[in-house]
Structure formats: C-alpha cells, structure tokens
Structure 1
C-alpha cells in the first residue's frame, strides 16, 4: 500500500488530513483577520497593506496555492467523512434505535462548511477578482460593499458561521491528531470556544464599525 493510499484510503488517514488542514486554515483566518483591521485606519493604510502583499510576488502565489489546496482537501475529505458517518448512523439507528452519540456541533459541521464554501467563492469574486485599476486598490471596493446593510447582515451571518465552525473544528483537529489528553481537555475546549467567539466577533466588528461611521454626518 502506497503512502497516498495509507493517508487517503482510510478513515483515520482522511481524518488526520482534515485535522492538519483545519489548523492551517485557522492560522489563515487569524492572519486574514489581523490584516483586515487595517480598514480601521483608513484607505491609505489598508491599500498600503494590500500593496505589500501584492509585492510578495511568487511567494504570495505559493501561499494562495497552498491555501486553496488545504481548503479543497479539507472540504472534500470532511464531506466524504460526514456522508460516511451519516450512513453509518442511519444503519445503527435502524438496527438499535441509536444516533451513535453524535453531538449537535458535529452534525451541523457539513451545513456550516457548505455555507462557508459559498461565502468564500462569493468573497473571492467580490474582492480578489473584482475589476480595479491596481491589484492593491481594495479599500474602495470593501467600502462599497459594506455600504449595503443587506450585505453587512449577510457578511455577519457568514463570519458567525465561520466562528461556529472553527469552535468545533479547532478542538476536533487536536483530538484527531492525538493531542487531546484528559488533563488538557477542559482547557482546550475553553480555548476552542474563545477562538470561535474571537473569529465571529472580530470579523463582525469591521463592517458594523464602517457602517456606523459612514452613517455619521
């Protein structure tokens, strides 16, 4: 059996890949959030930050390829595991009348994951691939979208889905990778909840702040 088959051909291997990609994507979420806070300092600061990223050149392309690969692996493998678990639970329920101990968090991961996929695709269309004179002139585009209250509501709902998703996914990643001993379990669960809340609130603050400040005379 080749290494690829060992990793992707078993449920354990697929779960480990999902766990590793979870941590990679969590790092990106934190980095992206920090970068977004340049919005609070105005157009020059945010576009200057975007320009620095753009001038990373091939390094930026490599990072983007790595993130796309991590996301595709994470989504496809997580969905395959979710479908397999769903089928197994239905079989057990039919035989023994049991749902197999699945938590409400775990049962909603596929739903929030699908919402996040749609949100990410639209997010890339709206911001990364939006037509503009220069690749790093983003502030005006962001400001236009956040001027729409309907878009702000949609954005806040979406980032709350992200926060909810990582709240469960963060601790699940450590559990899958075997870093989930009884002595650190309570602390890790609290850290996961805190991380999810920080992600949801941190991303939500930006459009709400920009909307409120824009509304001032």
Structure 2
C-alpha cells in the first residue's frame, strides 16, 4: 500500500490520476450527450430517458458519488500540478514562444477547468437540485432554454469544454504511455474530432429547444 501512496504523491502519479479521471469524464460526456439527444424526439422520449435513469436507484446514486469523487480528484490534482509548475518557474519567459505541441487547449487547461467546474455547479442548481414533483424534466429544460442568457451561458460553456477536451483527450493517452509516433497523430485527431462533436452536440440542444418550444 505504501508504494501506491508514494506513487500518487509523485508528479507522475498525479498526472496518472489526471489521465484516468479525465478519461472517465470523457466517457461520461459521450454517454450524457447520447442520452440528451433524445430531446430531439420531443417530451416523451426525453422524459422516458430521465425516468429510466432514476429507475436505476442505488446504481444511479453510486454513479453520482463516483463522478463527484472523480471531480474532486481531478480538480484538486490539477490545481496542485498547476501550482507546482508555477513554483518551479515563477517568472515567465520574456519571449512567449509556442513550443511544439502547445495549443489553445494546453495553454488554458487550468482556467478552462475552473470555468467548467463553475458551470457544472450552475447546471446542477438549475436542473438537478430542483423540485420535480409537479413537473417533468422536459418542462424544466424547456423553461430554462427560453431564457437567452442561459442559452448563451450554456453554449459558451460547451465551447470551453470542447477546448479543454481537445487537449485532455490526447494528453491522457500520452500520460498512459501511448506517446508513439505512429499512434499519437491518430489519437490527437480523434481527440479533436471528439471535442468538436461534444462542443457542437451539446451546444445545439439549447438552441434547438429555445427555438422550437
């Protein structure tokens, strides 16, 4: 057990935690988007999807607790690594050159991560921690997306998620040892495609609901 504790106390161990939890959230995003796409079928399919999730009972609670733990680990570890990097190089270079592999996603990971965390809390307060006894989830979503401010916030947040994932996807596989000249370009391209699909897929939902209801 000591070797495991020492591993995750090291920089490599922290990056491994970031990679594993990041891939967990990538899987969650894919599944969550697939479920949310049922809203294009109208109220009945979307409400049925929500009811199916709630029917899982303890399994759903276990999944929610697992997501919460992953979020705490991912955010805390990311902040620790970010602060350690700042302490290791307290002064910025005079010439801020774009090094190989540097991208908008890689340069903004800590900041987009914190923005995503803030949006998740906002999202939960508006959709999860609300009284559903006298209404349906479709009605709650429809009412929320009648507000253009919320639509704008949601679309902006999804674009930020896409930027974050565009770097996190291939970075996670690289951390796990797949940094190979033959496979990395494919993984990087797959990550970009996935990020674009997530950004567009989630962004289109509030626009569709807001314009159609």
TM superposition score normalised by structure 2 = 0.92
Distance 1:51 1:91, change over 3 A: same
Q: Residues 15-54 of structure 1: matches in 2 within 5 Å? A: 15-54=15-54
Q: Is 1:176 aligned to 2:175, yes or no? A: yes
Kindly provide the CA deviation profile for residues 103-150 of structure 1, in whole angstroms up to 9, marking residues without a partner as x.
34322001100000000001111111111206x921111001100111
1:187 corresponds in structure 2 to 186
Q: Structure 1: 5+ residue runs without aligned partners?
A: none
Offset at 1:71?
A: 1.1
Tell whether 2:162 aligns with 1:163: yes
Post-superposition shift, 1:209? 1.1
Match of 2:2 in 1: 2
Matches within 5 A, 1:48-127: 48-90=48-90, 93=93, 101=99, 103=102, 104-127=104-127
Equivalent residue number for residue 131 of structure 1 = 131
Whether the 8 Å contact between 1:7 and 1:13 is mirrored in structure 2 is yes
Deviation at residue 5 of structure 1 after TM alignment: 2.3
Q: Residue by residue, what CA displacement relative to the aligned partner does 1:154-209 show, whole Å, maximum 9, x if unpaired?
A: 10000111111011000000011111211011111111111110000000111111
Q: 1:124 & 1:40 partners in 2: Cα distance? A: 22
Q: Does 1:209 align with 2:212?
A: no
Cα separation, 2, equivalents of 1:116 and 1:92: 26
Q: Which moved more, 1:101-110 or 1:141-150?
A: 101-110
CA distance in 2, matches of 1:89, 1:4: 28
Contact 2:7 2:13 in 1 (8 A): yes
Alpha-carbon distance between aligned partners in 1 of 2:74 and 2:183, rounded to the nearest angstrom: 25
